[in-house]
Homo-oligomer: A and B are copies of this chain.
Amino acid sequence: MRKYGIADTTFSRVNMASVAIETIKETDPGSKIERYTVPGIKDLPVAARKLIELGCDGVITLGWVGKTMLDKYSYLASSIGLITVQILTMKHVIDVTVHEDEAEDEDKLKDIAIDRTEKHAKNLVYLVRDGKEALTSFAGKGLRQGYKNAGSLD
């Protein structure tokens, strides 16, 4: 039975995990989900690693990043960490990050968070369940998460 990991934070202003759980259940019914909640984005890499040790076939992390330069440095450090976890475990850790400065409007920000989570939760299922060519028909299509697709230049 496939098992998906969800790592989320108390720093986030939207409960993105509930969106991820619902999406995964709809997209891969019968799969199992493990959830790990940490304070902030810098705690996500170890949570992802531990979820993989618990048998997860792939993980989605749900980060929320503040507006300052220091928040951005924390984002950079976390991103490097999440990539390192993937390299070491050879499992996908799909990184959903919402930056507080992506939108002035709070409703808009919430919409971004939900859309990005839904789309990436599906991406995770496709990659874990269907393998390396699951997304190939969408390659180069300019897909965006949190925004409308940019589209292909072909």
Contact = CB atoms under 8 A, between A and B. Distances in A.
A37 B84 contact: no
Oligomeric state, in copies: 5
A139 B15 contact: yes
Nearest to A122: B39
Contact of A79 (B42, B99, B110, B143): B42
A153 interface: yes
Interface residues of A, number: 78
A140 B12 contact: yes
Interface of A: 8-18, 34-39, 42-43, 45-47, 49-51, 53, 69-70, 72-88, 90-95, 99, 106-107, 109-110, 113, 120, 123, 127, 132-136, 138-145, 150-154
22 contacts: A9-B140, A10-B143, A11-B142, A12-B139, A13-B151, A36-B132, A37-B138, A38-B135, A42-B82, A42-B83, A42-B95, A43-B92, A45-B83, A46-B91, A46-B93, A49-B90, A70-B72, A70-B75, A73-B75, A77-B79, A80-B81, A87-B88
